[in-house]
Structure 1
Amino acid sequence: MSLPPMDTRVTYPAGDLRSTGTVVHAEPFGDHLAVVLDQTACHPVDAAWPDQPADQGTITFGDGDRAVEVAISDCVVGATDGSALFIGDAVPVRKGTEGWAFLAVHLVYPTASEAAQVGATARVDIDDTTRRALSAGHTGCHLASLALNAALADAWRKDVALDTLGAPDFDALACSSSRISPRGSTDHYRVGKSLRRKGFDPAALDDLDGLAERIGRILAGWTASDAAVRIDRDGELLTDRRSWRCELPGGPAIIPCGGTHAGSLAEFSTVAVWLEREEVEGAVGFSMITTVVPAG
């Protein structure tokens, strides 16, 4: 059994919804068939930080009368050192580890087994509606995290790492999980002893409604700017560094990110947040729910 010696080439960072590649590996995986292509437009979910779900779509193996089209049940990041294929939570190393290839693994039903042979041509078609909704949610998530940092900038008594816009990076220090949904996201924040030792004053969270209003005002100003958004990338391979860049009025916001995004804030009518108090891992915390309303 041969396994790919290099990362999957991915075209979704450029916004592609269709790609044509070649099957380089296929093997059974539970009730599914795990299929690896040399190139794909399908965004995979990464078990190491599963914020954005996988794209939805189909793979068509072959062409003409013998073409076989199947739905993509899921697409996950996998890895191999040449000895075996590890998928999702089973990947034992971090992305970029030397000697490992990191792959977009498409999970399809076994009805495609005969068609998904190594060397077969495979066309990937991604559902545009789902991609746009998740991309909007991811862009809104980044904007909300930066607005949260700005709204809490006066709550720090010590110097800490700053975000891309120069505010203390509360999001990076306190976020315990982040999940992107169609035109939205949910982020959970934990305010424990370590954050207090770093100089954060938890009293800044006493009035969550007031905090949400401040965040909303910041988001309204940014959304009204119709700022351009793009993904900068060092290369086309799955593990090549990629960054989200948004040309906000006060200067560009740049955040390392492997997901998909809207092309401009002109696509949004509003980005709204609400905050809910909760206990996270035994510590005081809150969740931030972000909703993106499309323009028009």
Structure 2
Amino acid sequence: MPITDSTRVTYPGGEVRGSSAVVATVPVGDGYGTIVAETPFHPLDHTWPDQPADAGTIGGLAVTDCVTGAVAEGEETVHLGADIPVRRGTPGWHWLVVHVTAEPVADGGLAGDGLTAAGPGGEVELVVDAAGRRALSAGHTACHLAALALNAALAGRWRKEVPADGLGHPDFDQTAIASSRILPGGSHDVYRLGKSLRRKGFVTEGLAEELPEIARLAGDRLTAWIAAGAAVRIDVPGPELTARRTWHCALPEAEVSIPCGGTHLSSTAELGTISVTLDLSADGSELTMRTTTGPYAGGS
């Protein structure tokens, strides 16, 4: 039976539980991928895999992975992750959250010997690991704040104009980012300091010697932002998986916004503390920022 709509997602609003009708079950390696009409699970984004997938249960079974899928209108073949042949949000395609389990999910309960995969229309319960979600949300909120603080601390190292971030500083983060990984309560970001960045006007001379001071300046700014208890919210234009959501934070200097499909806390005060460490590779070609929070308010 063809899939006729994209998955609706409730995680942008902070939901960690729900029940929904099963749309389809597809093979995923040695396991089973269950697709439902609506889910609180955040899947791994195959195009920018920064935030890991949520853990939890579906129909009482452990979700061992949660991935993005896509299927062309009128077709039945569901493509998963890196095998999706079109760009995210391409018209004429439905975009899906695929919950992977070791056993097939049965309608309304546990799967086991003699039970088959849940059929289309059957209801299943979905429960996200709330503590794990909160830890990743803390890490993602801290990641955005640390990027803004790093931009400010590096603002004096540009000799040409580049696009500015929401606070008016040269956007080093978006100009130089090579990879970003959200961790429980933190993040790991790698920036490329190659010829391309230098041609854009970034000055790398003396950077190694100044890193401790740059980290201190960024840390001081983050401490002030936490003390301000700035409100954080996600703008959600629609319920579908591929809706272009935006992170907003009402910092003392200005409200800033960053396109983001992840999950977040609701206030900078919830982070407790944020610390950043900066490391330059031996050849000076990469800068790594490690961000750590904690204990974040209400966390475990």
**Same-fold status (TM-score > 0.5):** yes
Deviations 1:114-137 (A, max 9, x none): 142111101111111001000000
| Post-superposition CA distance 1:79-125 (Å, at most 9, x none) | 11124100111111111101111111110122436142111101111
Shift of 1:284: 1.1
Report if the CA contact (8 A) 1:3-1:24 is conserved: no
Residue 3 of structure 1: CA displacement? 3.2
- Compute the displacement of 1:203 (Å): 2.3
Task: State whether structure 2 residue 283 is matched by structure 1 residue 292.
Answer: no
Seen in structure 2, the aligned counterparts of structure 1 residues 148 and 10 have a Cα distance that, compared at 3 Å, is: same
Q: In the TM superposition, what is the alpha-carbon distance from 1:31 to its structure 2 partner?
A: 1.1
Q: Structure 2: how far apart are the matches of 1:283 and 1:238?
A: 39
Counterpart of 1:246 (choices 246, 249, 273) is 249
Q: Kindly tell me: are residues 42 and 271 of structure 1, through their superposed partners in 2, closer, same or farther at Cα, counting changes over 3 Å?
A: same
Structure 1, residues 238-274: CA drift from partner, whole Å, max 9, x if none? 0111011111001111100000001111212211100
CA positional deviation for 1:276 = 1.2
Deviations 1:139-172 (A, max 9, x none): 0000000001111111111111111111111000
Partner AA of 1:109 in structure 2? A
Root mean square deviation of aligned Cα: 1.4
Q: Measure the CA separation in 1 of the matches of 2:273 and 2:44.
A: 27
**Structure 2 residues without counterparts, runs of 5 or longer:** 107-115
Question: CA-to-partner distance for each residue in 1:166-191, whole Å, 9 max, x for gaps?
Answer: 11110001110000010000000111
CA distance in 1, matches of 2:204, 2:232: 33
Out of 113, 117, 120, the position equivalent to 2:119 is 117
Contact 2:63-2:101 at 8 Å conserved across structures: yes
The one-letter code of the counterpart of 1:80 is: V
Question: Could you say which residue in structure 1 is the equivalent of 2:224?
Answer: 221
Q: Distance in 2 between matches of 1:112 and 1:227?
A: 42
Q: For residues 81-100 of structure 1, what are the structure 2 equivalents within 5 Å?
A: 81=72, 82-100=75-93
Q: Aligned residue for 2:13? A: 14
The answer as to whether partners of 2:148 and 2:165 remain within 8 angstroms in 1 is yes
Measure, in 2, the Cα distance between the counterparts of 1:283 and 1:237. 42
Aligned to 1:3: 2
Query: Paired residue for 2:46?
Result: 47
Is 1:155–1:204's contact at 8 Å kept on the other side of the alignment? Answer: no
User: Which residues of 2 match residues 1-296 of structure 1 at below 5 A?
Assistant: 2-60=1-59, 69-81=60-72, 82-112=75-105, 114-203=116-205, 205-206=207-208, 207-278=210-281, 284-293=285-294, 294-295=296-297
Sequence identity of aligned pairs in percent? 49
In 2, distance between residues paired with 1:155 and 1:129?
40
* Structure 1 residues not aligned, in runs of 5+: 61-68
By how many angstroms is 1:36 displaced?
Answer: 0.6
Q: Is the CA contact (8 Å cut-off) linking 1:190 and 1:283 kept in structure 2?
A: no
**1:199-254, Cα deviation, whole Å (9 max, x unpaired):** 11112622211111111111111111011111111111101110111110011111
**Deviation at residue 34 of structure 1 after TM alignment:** 1.0
Aligned counterparts of 2:117 and 2:286: Cα–Cα separation in 1: 50
What displacement does 1:39 show? 0.4
Q: Structure 2 length normalisation: TM-score? A: 0.92
Amino acid at match of 2:248: R
The residue matched to 1:19 in structure 2 has which SS? Answer: strand
- In structure 2, what is the equivalent of residue 66 of structure 1? none
Task: Name the stretch that deviates more: 286-295 or 180-189.
Answer: 286-295
Q: Retained in 2: the 8 A contact 1:31–1:110?
A: no
CA contact (8 A) 1:234 1:242 kept: yes
Partners in 1 of 2:121 and 2:284 — Cα distance?
Answer: 53
The CA distance in 1 between the partners of 2:129 and 2:244, in whole Å, is 25
Q: In 1, are the aligned partners of 2:26 and 2:34 still within 8 Å (CA)? A: yes
